[in-house]
A and B are shown apart, each in its own frame.
Chain A
Amino acid sequence: MNSTLTTADSTARKPMLELSNINKTFRLGPADVRVLCGAGLTVFEGEFVALVGASGSGKSTLLHIAGALESADAGSVMFRGQDLSRLSRHSRHRLRNHAFGFVFQLYHLLPELSVLENVLLPAMVCSPWYKACIRARPGKRRALELLEQLGLKDRLRHRPSQLSGGERQRVAIARALINEPSLVLADEPTGNLDPKTGQTILDVLRGLHKGSGQSILLVTHDVHIAAQADRVVTLQDGKIVDSTL
């Protein structure tokens, strides 16, 4: 089976992220573990794609490669026509900051910062002046809007340790969206939550997708969660084996 699968509908739209023939091998002690072997995936503008697969199938690795967090051993990653492997380090940092928004399974919030500060952090990274980041009304206004939208208006000054799992994940989503990225990369965002809270988080993501038309690549091993995406892509043994609407 062809490892790069797209649907007939999707070919009509403009591709945003194209991963083709991705190989990745990790060295674990004396043995080499081949995680991805010729995997390919295309995410179109405004598309909500769910990447499913068993544990250890290479979903997260593929997501990291897609988000320029990790490099592939072979294959190409094109983002809006740009080959990520040819980008300078600085350009990759800028891309991660501006174009991608990451949501992780374990939330990954900075424990020393408040909810508002965590959300504002990517905005501070992209702006050269601390003052401009913190005090500039647009950045803060957007953060407040996002937190209000996610039902965290009353928790601005709280620390992550004072929040529940669902709240933390919502903060992480707000942080991922603060710089208005083109693509949200969510790695098992509901994996650490109970089904009800997980569904709430998924509703938030879907709402954002529908509201602002943001592209989302969501990694999950839960088929029920995946079923709510526009398209489900299945990864097995390091290869994309199925792509269904």
Chain B
Amino acid sequence: MYKIFLCFRYLTRKGIVLFPVLAVWLCVMMLIIVNSIMTGFVNRVRDAGRSLMGDVVIQSDSMAGFPYYRQLQKRLALLPQVKASTPVISGYGLFNLPEFQVNTGVQVMGVEAGSESKVSSFGSSLFWQYKAPMQAVADLRGAGFPTTRTKLLAYAQKRLLAAAKIEATRQQHYANLKPIGNHAWFASIRQHWQVIAHEDYQQAVYKENRADRDLRMVQALPNKAFSSAAALRQAMVPKAPSFTPPPQAANRYLTGADEPKNGCVIGVDLGLYKRDRFGHYHRPPGVRFSPVIITMVPVTMKATLAQPQSRRFVIVDDSRTRVYAVDSKTVYIPFHVAQKMAFMQRQDLLAGGVRPGRCSEIQVLVRHDSSENNILAARKAIAHVVHQLELLHPQMEIAGIRVRTWDQVQAEYIRAVDNERNMITFLLGLMSLVVVIVIFLIFYMLVRDKTRDIGIIKAIGGSEEGVGVIFLLYGMLISSAGAILGLCTGVSFVRNDNWIHDHILWRIFGISIWNRKIYVFSKIPDQIDPHAVMWIVIFAILAGLVGALIPAILAARQDPVEALRYE
């Protein structure tokens, strides 16, 4: 058809169309990038929140918790929907690290390390008991399998030597960095180069420390062969996380009596570790196995404050859940200790009888898949069990127990972030209306420019509709071209955003948008939502049509004789 033919000719031979194509391209790319990063952020927060609490949470409105939790757990275990459950004590306290002169208010979580790690990501959030050995397994893959401890030792030593060499070179480079000129203009460049060189040095130090850690872990391995990476992982990663201080913790204390009996896990963002631009934590020596004093203020059943309870602990590990609000405020201690400190343990009453032990919440992991419907069905069954137990024990009813899914617990926060994402996308979408105006203006000019052509087309038999369709198709082609370019570049950008940020924006131009010292996530969170991307592309194409609509109508209505006379 002549309409398509003319559209393609105008598209390929009119330079001015590059402007609307560029406008659509940039808008589509910008919307895809913003939407993907916000979606990635929302989903990361959602996933992180979920991994903290399991699928369903049974919580009490009362700070004093609720009783008969063991009975409840036994009944939950009988439900076909429930895979595992774990009790948690939650309370506020003070954290005192005397050797480092740290005093801060914290949230104290009493957890059963073994069962907690089955329900939540507590186990995999621990550095020394999970992440470090996993990193070591990944680092030692280069040794090849099957392998032996001796071979692994040799390989780890080789890696450490290489890392030390790089570290020494970078340190020297950083120290010997010479000025590139005396002009003031060079000062900022020189400064940036120094920062880069220092960062490179920091990276080298981090890698050297990591290689050193790997070597120590290999040294601690039994002298046997490892057939695969899985076998090595099995030997390195403890089966279940624990609060028990490892034997090497004793070296930190003069006598066994000095060493606290219980271990604790601190949140990684509590302020004891430095975090570099690349999101790596630099753990200063001495923090691990340090003694800390944690003080909890128990709340009585009558909602009054009781005598504060203090205990000494050894820092055995640190936890990184990737939720800053949690990692910067939380200290984990053994459940039974927290229960005593919070006065929630089983008590014999003076008047006779027994007050059953209490917990703040029970976290439940649902069996089978984690689909929303499945979790909602499980929540319903759990709520029924709770209700039955409440009928049996009226004390439970007083505690005001609520059964909620992970989504319901963090609904308010997630909804806020979700709304933020939608609002930003909407606002950017509104800004993208500029595209419609750009297309309108360019098409208006184009119609004026092509007035005589319109007259010719009509003179040779082209209809009003035909002329209108030419400009509408033209608008659609332009917006489609821009949308496809925007789609390709936007998706490519999102897939490589971290690399672009670190290697181009930061290293070349000294621009840092995503500072990992500040943000929780070590990488820019990004997740392409195909549904959203599809709508962005559709709206962009429609924008082209809308922008071209009025000029197309004007063109269609153009009188052929007047058009032919147009100069």
A69 contacts B458, C-beta separation under 8 Å: yes
B460 contacts A97, C-beta separation under 8 Å: yes
A112 contacts B2, C-beta separation under 8 Å: no
Binds B, one of A14-22, A127-135, A144-152: A127-135
Residues of A close to B464: CB separation below 8 A = 89
Given A69-B560, A112-B9, A121 contacting B2 (CB threshold 8 A): yes
Given A96-B459, A124-B1, A126-B461, A112 contacting B560 (CB threshold 8 A): no
Q: How far, in Å, is A95 (CB) from chain B's closest CB?
A: 8
Binds B, one of A43-51, A102-110, A200-208, A237-245: A102-110
**A residues contacting the other copy or chain, number (CB 8 A):** 31
A108 contacts B9, C-beta separation under 8 Å: no
Q: How far, in Å, is B152 (CB) from chain A's closest CB?
A: 68
B561 contacts A125, C-beta separation under 8 Å: no
Binds A, one of B399-407, B449-457, B475-483: B449-457
A122 contacts B460, C-beta separation under 8 Å: yes
The answer, among A102, A133, A134, for a CB contact under 8 Å with B459, is A102
**Which chain A residue lies CB-closest to B462?**
A125
**Which chain A residue lies CB-closest to B9?**
A112
B561 contacts A64, C-beta separation under 8 Å: yes
Is A170 an interface position by the 8 A CB rule?
Answer: no
Q: Mark B429-465, 1 if CB is under 8 A from A, else 0.
A: 0000000000000000000000011011111111110
Residues of A close to B461: CB separation below 8 A = 93-98, 122, 125-126
Taken together as a complex, chains A and B put the C-alpha atoms of A110 and B455 apart, in Å, by 11
Is A70 an interface position by the 8 A CB rule?
Answer: yes
Is A196 an interface position by the 8 A CB rule?
Answer: no
Q: How far, in Å, is A24 (CB) from chain B's closest CB?
A: 11
The answer, among B14, B457, B561, for a CB contact under 8 Å with A70, is B561
Residues of A close to B560: CB separation below 8 A = 69-70
Q: How far, in Å, is B1 (CB) from chain A's closest CB?
A: 5
Is A90 an interface position by the 8 A CB rule?
Answer: yes
**Which chain B residue lies CB-closest to A99?**
B461
Is A117 an interface position by the 8 A CB rule?
Answer: yes
B564 contacts A104, C-beta separation under 8 Å: yes
Residues of A close to B224: CB separation below 8 A = none
Q: How far, in Å, is B174 (CB) from chain A's closest CB?
A: 60
- Residue in A122, A125, A126 whose Cβ sees the most chain B Cβ within 10 Å: A125
B1 contacts A128, C-beta separation under 8 Å: yes
* Category for how many chain B residues contact A: 20 to 34
**Which chain A residue lies CB-closest to B2?**
A124
B561 contacts A93, C-beta separation under 8 Å: no
Of residues 379 through 426 on chain B, the ones whose CB sits less than 8 Å from some CB of chain A are none
**Which chain A residue lies CB-closest to B463?**
A93
A108 contacts B13, C-beta separation under 8 Å: no
Residues of A close to B462: CB separation below 8 A = 93, 125
Taken together as a complex, chains A and B put the C-alpha atoms of A109 and B456 apart, in Å, by 8
Given A69-B560, A69-B561, A89 contacting B9 (CB threshold 8 A): no
Given A69-B561, A113-B9, A117-B9, A133 contacting B2 (CB threshold 8 A): yes
Is B5 an interface position by the 8 A CB rule?
Answer: yes
Is B10 an interface position by the 8 A CB rule?
Answer: yes
Is B4 an interface position by the 8 A CB rule?
Answer: yes
A102 contacts B460, C-beta separation under 8 Å: yes
Is A59 an interface position by the 8 A CB rule?
Answer: no
A112 contacts B1, C-beta separation under 8 Å: no
Is A168 an interface position by the 8 A CB rule?
Answer: no
Is B466 an interface position by the 8 A CB rule?
Answer: yes
Is A231 an interface position by the 8 A CB rule?
Answer: no
A175 contacts B460, C-beta separation under 8 Å: yes
**Which chain A residue lies CB-closest to B464?**
A89
Residues of A close to B6: CB separation below 8 A = 110, 112
Residues of B close to A95: CB separation below 8 A = 461
**Which chain B residue lies CB-closest to A113?**
B9
Residues of B close to A104: CB separation below 8 A = 459, 564
Taken together as a complex, chains A and B put the C-alpha atoms of A128 and B5 apart, in Å, by 12
Taken together as a complex, chains A and B put the C-alpha atoms of A87 and B460 apart, in Å, by 17
Q: How far, in Å, is B453 (CB) from chain A's closest CB?
A: 6
Q: Mark B1-27, 1 if CB is under 8 A from A, else 0.
A: 110111001100110000000000000
Residues of B close to A121: CB separation below 8 A = 2, 457, 460
Residues of B close to A128: CB separation below 8 A = 1
A108 contacts B455, C-beta separation under 8 Å: yes
B459 contacts A69, C-beta separation under 8 Å: yes
B463 contacts A130, C-beta separation under 8 Å: no
Taken together as a complex, chains A and B put the C-alpha atoms of A125 and B462 apart, in Å, by 6
Q: How far, in Å, is A27 (CB) from chain B's closest CB?
A: 13
Residues of B close to A126: CB separation below 8 A = 461
Residues of B close to A94: CB separation below 8 A = 461
The answer, among A70, A112, A125, for a CB contact under 8 Å with B460, is A125
Q: Mark B337-370, 1 if CB is under 8 A from A, else 0.
A: 0000000000000000000000000000000000
Of residues 135 through 186 on chain A, the ones whose CB sits less than 8 Å from some CB of chain B are 175
**Which chain B residue lies CB-closest to A159?**
B13
Q: How far, in Å, is A235 (CB) from chain B's closest CB?
A: 17
The answer, among A89, A93, A125, for a CB contact under 8 Å with B2, is A125
B452 contacts A108, C-beta separation under 8 Å: yes
- Residue in A69, A98, A117 whose Cβ sees the most chain B Cβ within 10 Å: A69
Q: How far, in Å, is B46 (CB) from chain A's closest CB?
A: 50
Taken together as a complex, chains A and B put the C-alpha atoms of A141 and B464 apart, in Å, by 29
Taken together as a complex, chains A and B put the C-alpha atoms of A128 and B4 apart, in Å, by 11
Taken together as a complex, chains A and B put the C-alpha atoms of A68 and B134 apart, in Å, by 84
23 sample A-B contacts, Cβ–Cβ < 8 Å, listed by A number:
A64-B561, A69-B564, A94-B461, A96-B459, A98-B461, A108-B456, A108-B459, A110-B456, A112-B13, A112-B14, A113-B9, A117-B5, A121-B2, A121-B457, A122-B461, A125-B457, A125-B460, A125-B466, A130-B1, A130-B4, A130-B5, A133-B1, A175-B460
The 6 lowest CB-CB distance pairs between A and B, nearest first, are: A97-B461, A124-B2, A122-B460, A112-B13, A96-B461, A130-B1
Chain B residues in contact with chain A, CB under 8 A? Answer: 1-2, 4-6, 9-10, 13-14, 452-453, 455-464, 466, 560-561, 564
Since A108-B455, A112-B13, A121-B457 are in contact, a sample of 8 more A-B pairs with Cβ atoms closer than 8 Å, ordered by chain A residue number, is A64-B561, A89-B463, A104-B564, A109-B456, A112-B9, A125-B460, A126-B461, A130-B1
